[in-house]
Amino acid sequence: MLLPLALLLSGCQLILLDPAGWVANQERDLLIASTVLMLVIIVPVLVLAVYIPWRYRDSRKTTNDYDPEFEHSSLFEAFIWGVPVMIIIALGALTWIYTHRLDPYKPLDHIAGEPLEIDVVSLDWKWLFIYPEQDMAVVNQLVIPTDRPINMKLTSSSVMNTFSVPALAGMIYTMAGMETKLHLVAEEAGQYYGRSANYSGPGYAHMDFETFAVSEDEFSSWVNTVKSSSNTMSDETYLQLSKPTVADGVSYYNGVADNLFDKIVGLCVEPGKVCVGEMMMQDMMGGGGLQGVKTKNEYLYDEFAPGEGFDQHAFEGTLHANPDEPRSGPVNIKNPDQTVTHIPGDDSASNASEPVRH
């Protein structure tokens, strides 16, 4: 009777049980170990829930096993309390070990290779990936070399989001005015699905991106492709990009404004704004006094007036969507032969994923 229901799951991608990176592998092991330990309790309980009513049913032929004088059994008590206590101890030990081992802020020092630095910004409703060492930026596409640690710094331009590439690592939140960190590594080349895993408004459903894990040579070739773009990520370009849009395609930028990520974290990309860190220092020194009243607009960061709802806000311009956006769902494809020729660029970003997704 359950077989037809199991067939409905045949199209599911169990990427959590078949990851492509060390961090995700460790998370899978923790998931499996925790499940097995909990089944040690759950399975006997389910079996006994059926066996006990049947074994002591009223219609049974013999009742000579009934002992009206029974009050206590040390062996029974030891089993009832001992096994759950041991399970809790085991789960606690596993949780402690893996919590420290998989701390998202902990660098992957045991992985050989020079780490690649990537700054990640969640926008409404798209992702911006800044490669500071390569002095370039990419929207809605993440490309990383295999077998090389990836050090990520993350923030948000407005509301809270969650960065998630299940095949490679766990989730981490992005928050405006704050910086979080995530470390990951791709051990197998391929194309993996990434998205925001935290509801963030009308365009949330389309806030996804594709992650390509490629060889060092292919990564260098892709960098050259991005560097050939005529676009640059200036402060003005970022401010325009940060305006809410839905289902944007992939776009490349050769050159990034100095300290752009730090200014995004400090909420001071807009000209004339005082960065959050500087404002906090001024507060620590006693504030701006009466003189600060004249410059209060330089310290305002909220896009909406107090009490104003997000849905009632009138956006500047039109909230547009990409009509060619693929809608066939996520993909997770391990592909040792992954080459940059399979990676869509900004010349065909709107429909480049269509053949793969189908």
What residues does each domain of the chain span?
Answer: 15-53+76-102, 116-270, 272-307
**pLDDT 10s digits, 217-258:** 999 999 999 999 999 999 999 999 988 888 888 999 999 999
Least confident of 4-8, 47-51, 82-86, 235-239: 4-8
- Residue 262 burial class via C-beta count within 10 angstroms: exposed 0-12, middle 13-18, buried 19 and up: middle
Look at strands 251-254 and 136-139 and give their pairing.
antiparallel
Q: Are 227 and 345 in contact (CB under 8 A)?
A: no
**Residue-level pLDDT at 58:** 81
Least confident of 21-35, 65-79, 291-305: 291-305
Residue 190, classed as helix, strand or coil, is strand
| Structure letter (DSSP) for residue 177 | T
**Which neighbouring-strand residues pair with 192?**
211
d(CA 253, CA 232): 5
Homologous superfamily (CATH) of 116-270 is Cupredoxins -  blue copper proteins (2.60.40.420)
Least confident of 175-189, 201-215, 309-323: 309-323
**pLDDT 10s digits, 292-301:** 666 777 777 7
Alpha-carbon separation of residue 241 from 72, 124, 282, 313, 325 (angstroms): 72, 9, 30, 18, 18
Question: Which residue from 264, 273, 271, 270 is spatially nearest to 298, judged by alpha carbons?
Answer: 273
d(CA 181, CA 155): 9
Question: If residue 150 lies in a helix (H) or strand (E), which one and from where to where?
Answer: strand 150-156
Question: Which residue from 89, 73, 2 is spatially nearest to 40, judged by alpha carbons?
Answer: 89
d(CA 235, CA 241): 10
What is the value of pTM for the model shown? 0.79
Burial 149-184 (b: 16+ CB within 10 A, else e): bbebbbbbbbbebbbbbbbbbbebbbbbeebbebbb
**Residue-level pLDDT at 313:** 46
Question: Which residue from 262, 271, 303, 272 is spatially nearest to 177, judged by alpha carbons?
Answer: 262
